[in-house]
Structure 1
Amino acid sequence: MFFQQVYDKTLAQGSYFIGCQAKNEAIVIDAKRDIDTYLEIAKRNNMRITHVAETHIHADFLAGTRELAEVTGATMYLSDEGGADWQYEFTHVGLKEGDKIQVGNLSLTVMHTPGHTPESISFLLRDHPASDEPVMLFTGDFVFVGDIGRPDLLEEAAGIVGSKDIGAEQMFASLNKFLSLPDYVQVWPGHGAGSACGKALGSVPSTTVGYEKIRNWALQFGDDYESFRDTLLSDQPEAPTYFAMMKKLNKVDRPLLTAVPNHPSLTIDAVLGKEGYTLVDARHKNRFAAGHIKGSLNIQHNNAMANWAGWMLGYTDKLVIIAGEDEKEEITRKLMRIGMDGIVGYVHDIDKATLVETKLVDAADVDALKDKDGYCLLDVRNKSEFQKEHIPGAIHRFVGHLPKQDLTDLRDKDVIIQCQSGDRATIAYSYLEKAGFTQISNYAGSFIDWLAQGKETVKGA
């Protein structure tokens, strides 16, 4: 048997290439959209990708299952569980509880494991030349290392009222299936630490059924469903707004993108003054602060770029990205993985444009100004971070929610923006500047600096 995990650290997403070396056949589970990775693995190992599969209709990335099937001719195997509202709307081989997929001398048995979503399935792998006993379980967003999939995403991101309570009950039942498996079975989940699909995901890539039985918080409740439910639904991270679009695009027939696009490089003169363009400044926050084009959004090119692009940008936006020429392909990959295909081009030099500086403040400024009339200290961290501990007098608005909030109450104030370490504060600053705010400043050191200065904090809401 050949096995390789493909891990996208930018979305903390794992996909899997599994092959039978005797028959040179392979299956890819939960493929990312830039599929050249899997084609290269197949080429290097003299294998044909004959099967592609998904564990569920994903919310956090645009699956490359259809692109991979288009290029390789592989058959798509997708869940037909969950009822009429949770069916894929394009041709595929439907899977239900107990069905088997044969890949050469390997087989994968389908387990229906709803909870995160109604149609979720897991794949139990057997390597028959070695043993007819199961050896690996591919869980998608069912069981993670140290955590389980959240059942509230459909309600939080897609507005399906009441789905989190149904999902919690289904998850509790699905976990009994997991508990019945042999302890030695390896568990390979769809996500790791950093994903918004759970609240306590581990950072190691895999685990075992036995290890999760003793260390996963969700498996310690016995028959006490009420305590399980309350713990599961509490303190989940904010659900990114782009998740709703991913659910839709992963379910319906959509245009395919079988190669990474090569977008043009543009001059700043060709961009400025053009109606309908959204400027995304992907440079480091310090360079943005030193000089940027007014109205551009600072979404830094780092591992979190796709996540914040999904929060702050729209799917109909025409994007012009300010970044180095050597960054073009990597940024394009990150954005195409969440279906953000509206890139018009890249600008590499903005020195000839009229630039503005970010107004920066330090801890002493914040301390002196935050409680004065007409000033507002705006904490843009997650709700759970704010409730755990914050600067006295701060008000909370999560940065990802700013585009859908009424900000009228802030218009007549001098707004000082802070987060934990400064990254989210610069996103919020650039968003408010784009929205026409003029009396804004950025506490770049943010909460970490405040603590380092030994300043007073308060705990609780």
Structure 2
Amino acid sequence: MLNKINLKSALLLLISLLINNKIKAQSYYFERVYDETLAQASYFIGDFTTKEAIVIDPKRDMDVYLNIAKTNNFKITKISETHIHADFLSGARELAAATNADLLLSDEGGKNWQYQFPHKGLKDGNIISMGQVELKIMHTPGHTPESITFLVVDTKVFTTPKRAITGDFIFVGDVGRPDLLEKAAGQVGSQEIGAKQLFASILKFSKLSDDVEIWAGHGAGSFCGKTLSNIPHSTLKDEKLNSKAFQFKNDEKGFVKYILEGQPSPPKYFAVMKQMNKEKRPLLIEVPVHQKLTHQALQKVIENNLLIIDTRNKNMVAEGHIPGSLHIENGKSLATWIGSLVDYQQQLVLIADDDDTTEDLTRKLMRIGMDNIYGFVTDLDKMNMELEKSNLVTSTEVQKHLDKNDVQIIDVRTENEYGNGHIRGAENISLTTLKNNLHKISKDRPVIVHCQSGVRAAMAYSLLKKSGIQNIKMFSGGINEWTEKKIELVKEN
């Protein structure tokens, strides 16, 4: 009987603890909104007592935040950002216009890094209050001079922060890169200054409690760091143990060298985003609906040389595409590739799989401010147009040309990918630099392009064809097929 009583008491105690922990965990509303297309996270925080809410780093298609507020009976009263973003067009101003919320933005970083539109300024040590929820501002420069971190405190339960919204300052497994201002925005000499600021910010942040949860602005797939994880959040303790960036406690020089080495080349559109997020610009309150083009309208598009981007699967495009069109397959990285390869001033016509795809494409492009869409074609197979097939080659055919110098083989993967193993004799011209290296493309012998899986090769093929290079072929199987067939790859010494 005694054992039964003890067991019952233990179970009641466990249930009580679980209930209390659940109450504590739910004392304020917290939701991470993640956009896989840009590996970008935003945050919705609401106070249950006052029903006020703040959104941090919102994306531009903002209906997701309005739906969260409506579903949970919150009123969005505040909107903020961790910094002036380079990798996506912030929806902070759109959301503020739709909700009449206060726009609270960093006033740190000096005169060159001030937002150039009306807002309420935030400084280090400021506190944003919403009922029992407080967000304390910590200035954490390095990634950018104005970067701030939000330390979230539930004042009813704790006196110290248990969550930190770190933006591009600290990621899970990595920290923000300090070289973007120099490489993407042309701020010569800024990357070493930023690296030293980042080192100081990490030391400052490291003084917080080890159990502070880190909720970052990006995950794996973002160009804002080198080794980002796809895990949603971490703790300061885990980052101190596992992140290499935290291992340079008394070695600023070593940290600067580490953080600046091996950073990927930033997409071309990053410089455009910096300006658009800093200055006044037209707002887009709703996801626009673009016209569906008729056969006659498409003919006029071709006659007027508008840019046609074919977003269908690479295999479909290979079977038949409009001559002169640029192929960028619809996927998670569509916006990044279009932002890297397409001029913002060009008017676009998009070839889509079907009517259901057009909203998805529009959302992806509006997230990087690519709004100049003239219309869609969703039934190319019914347009009764003369289409062109891609000139494909197999791995067997590629092997026939090895060591003969009768073709030019171009690997359009990144420099790091190429260095880890490539086809013997292949030259490396990465896709994002291809347009600036057309002079390196052979005019007197056939050219074969390839990548890892064929997706980038298809883009490169279409780009070269559009540039007037006709002696082009594509090895669609790429390195994946090469390794599957156990054909030798070589590495640089």
TM-score range, shorter chain: over 0.9
Bigger mean CA deviation after superposition, 55-64 or 288-297: 288-297
Deviation at 1:371, TM superposition (A): 3.4
The reply to whether residue 339 of structure 1 matches residue 332 of structure 2 is no
How far apart are the structure 2 equivalents of 1:338 and 1:348?
23
How far apart are the structure 1 equivalents of 2:411 and 2:146?
38
Matches within 5 A, 1:257-272: 257-272=284-299
Deviation at 1:160, TM superposition (A): 1.3
Counterpart for residue 359 of structure 1: 391
Which segments of 5 or more consecutive residues in structure 1 lack a partner in the other structure?
none
Counterpart for residue 66 of structure 1: 93
Matches within 5 A, 1:103-122: 103-122=130-149
Aligned with 2:311 (options 270, 275, 282): 282
How far apart are the structure 1 equivalents of 2:385 and 2:110?
55
Q: Deviations over 1:304-332 (max 9, x none)?
A: 11111111111111110000111010110
Counterpart for residue 56 of structure 1: 83
The reply to whether residue 46 of structure 1 matches residue 78 of structure 2 is no
The reply to whether residue 458 of structure 1 matches residue 485 of structure 2 is no
Give SS of 1:444's match.
coil
Matches within 5 A, 1:182-193: 182-193=209-220
The reply to whether residue 305 of structure 1 matches residue 334 of structure 2 is yes
Bigger mean CA deviation after superposition, 406-415 or 28-37: 406-415
Give SS of 2:172's match.
coil
Deviation at 1:277, TM superposition (A): 1.0
The reply to whether residue 145 of structure 1 matches residue 172 of structure 2 is yes
Bigger mean CA deviation after superposition, 229-238 or 430-439: 229-238
How far apart are the structure 2 equivalents of 1:358 and 1:370?
22
How far apart are the structure 2 equivalents of 1:306 and 1:172?
32
Counterpart for residue 322 of structure 2: 293
Provide closer, same or farther for how the CA distance between residues 215 and 140 of structure 1 changes in structure 2, counting only shifts above 3 A: same
The reply to whether residue 99 of structure 1 matches residue 126 of structure 2 is yes
Deviation at 1:384, TM superposition (A): 1.0
Counterpart for residue 429 of structure 2: 397
Give SS of 1:52's match.
strand
- 2:54·2:76 contact (CA, 8 Å) conserved in 1? yes
Q: Deviations over 1:51-79 (max 9, x none)?
A: 00000000000000000000101111111
- 2:53·2:77 contact (CA, 8 Å) conserved in 1? yes
- The code of the aligned residue for 2:485 comes to Q
Q: Deviations over 1:155-195 (max 9, x none)?
A: 11112111111111111111001211101111100000000
How far apart are the structure 1 equivalents of 2:448 and 2:95?
47
Matches within 5 A, 1:249-264: 249-264=276-291
Deviation at 1:146, TM superposition (A): 0.2
Deviation at 1:408, TM superposition (A): 5.1
Counterpart for residue 252 of structure 2: 225
The reply to whether residue 12 of structure 1 matches residue 39 of structure 2 is yes
How far apart are the structure 1 equivalents of 2:266 and 2:367?
17
Which segments of 5 or more consecutive residues in structure 2 lack a partner in the other structure?
1-27
Greater radius of gyration (CA): 2
Provide closer, same or farther for how the CA distance between residues 270 and 215 of structure 1 changes in structure 2, counting only shifts above 3 A: same
Counterpart for residue 415 of structure 2: 383
Counterpart for residue 428 of structure 1: 460
- The code of the aligned residue for 1:20 comes to D
The reply to whether residue 326 of structure 1 matches residue 326 of structure 2 is no
Give SS of 1:235's match.
coil
Q: Deviations over 1:410-446 (max 9, x none)?
A: 3333110011111111010011111111111111110
Indicate the percent of aligned positions where both proteins have the same amino acid. 49
How far apart are the structure 2 equivalents of 1:238 and 1:150?
11
How far apart are the structure 1 equivalents of 2:443 and 2:385?
28
TM-score of the two chains, using structure 1 as the length reference: 0.98
Deviation at 1:268, TM superposition (A): 3.6
Two-structure CA RMSD over aligned residues (Å):
1.2
The reply to whether residue 86 of structure 1 matches residue 113 of structure 2 is yes
- 1:268·1:349 contact (CA, 8 Å) conserved in 2? no
Bigger mean CA deviation after superposition, 412-421 or 340-349: 412-421
Counterpart for residue 368 of structure 1: 400
How far apart are the structure 1 equivalents of 2:41 and 2:108?
22
Q: Deviations over 1:216-244 (max 9, x none)?
A: 11001221222222221111111000000
Deviation at 1:370, TM superposition (A): 4.2
**Corresponding residue pairs, total:** 461
How far apart are the structure 2 equivalents of 1:84 and 1:189?
26
- The code of the aligned residue for 1:345 comes to G
How far apart are the structure 1 equivalents of 2:321 and 2:461?
12
Give SS of 2:162's match.
strand
Deviation at 1:136, TM superposition (A): 0.7
Deviation at 1:458, TM superposition (A): 1.5
Q: Deviations over 1:26-59 (max 9, x none)?
A: 0000000001110010000111000000000000
- 2:441·2:447 contact (CA, 8 Å) conserved in 1? no
- 1:6·1:15 contact (CA, 8 Å) conserved in 2? yes
Aligned with 1:415 (options 442, 447, 461): 447
How far apart are the structure 2 equivalents of 1:179 and 1:199?
21
- 1:318·1:344 contact (CA, 8 Å) conserved in 2? yes
How far apart are the structure 2 equivalents of 1:448 and 1:268?
38
- The code of the aligned residue for 1:311 comes to S
How far apart are the structure 2 equivalents of 1:368 and 1:6?
50
Counterpart for residue 344 of structure 2: 315
TM-score of the two chains, using structure 2 as the length reference: 0.92
The reply to whether residue 238 of structure 1 matches residue 265 of structure 2 is yes
